[in-house]
Amino acid sequence: MLRKFLHIVFALFLVLVTMGVTISMHYCGDKLVSTAVNSKADSCCSGDDDCGCCHDESIHIEVKDNYVAPVCIEANAPISIDVLFPVLFQLFDEEIISVTKTTYVTYYLSPPPPLSTRLAINQSFLC
């Protein structure tokens, strides 16, 4: 459960950071008066009057990296053993490492018994 929750949190964090977030802050002197996310912070000055002691700051957070989807490898693709383990073929003789072919034989199975026989075996006569 915790693992699923962390995956969701990290996915939301990644989406948020790649979209970008702007944090606006309004200071009156050295004191932080208001903050806003993706909008302009409220001013403490009334109307259009500029107090002179107030100033606004904005921080834009965004990741500039390109996220490329991982390369998917086909699950049923044939993989050559000598590519994966070339040292094995240099150390050992090929006769020691041999691949045997396994053949599976399917046998005919009889069909299930009729319903009345199954009910008698299970001793369940309610239908």
Determine the Cα–Cα distance for residues 45 and 48; give it in Å rounded to an integer: 8
Of the candidates 93, 24, 100, the residue with the CA atom closest to the CA atom of residue 60: 24
User: Is residue 6 in a domain?
Assistant: yes
Strands lying side by side in the sheet with 21-28: 31-37, 21-28, 54-61
Is the pLDDT assigned to residue 109 strictly greater than 80? no
Residue 8 binned pLDDT confidence (cut-offs 50, 70, 90)? very high
25 touches 32 (CB < 8 A) = yes
* H or E element in which residue 92 lies: none
Task: Please state the φ and ψ torsions of residue 104, each to the nearest 5 degrees.
Answer: -100, 130
User: Is residue 98 in a domain?
Assistant: no
Determine the Cα–Cα distance for residues 23 and 25; give it in Å rounded to an integer: 7
Summarize pLDDT for 84-96 with one digit per residue, the tens: 555 555 555 555 5
Residue 56 is given by DSSP the state: E
User: Is residue 124 in a domain?
Assistant: no
Higher pLDDT, 12 or 49: 12
User: Is residue 95 in a domain?
Assistant: no
Is the pLDDT assigned to residue 70 strictly greater than 70? no
Higher pLDDT, 33 or 119: 33
Higher pLDDT, 116 or 34: 34
Summarize pLDDT for 30-68 with one digit per residue, the tens: 888 888 988 888 887 766 666 778 888 888 888 777 666
Question: Computed over its alpha carbons, how large is the radius of gyration of the chain?
Answer: 35
Q: What is the number of structural domains in the chain?
A: 1
80 touches 65 (CB < 8 A) = no
Per-residue pLDDT at 82: 52
- Which residue range(s) make up the domain with 27? 2-61
* H or E element in which residue 36 lies: strand 31-37
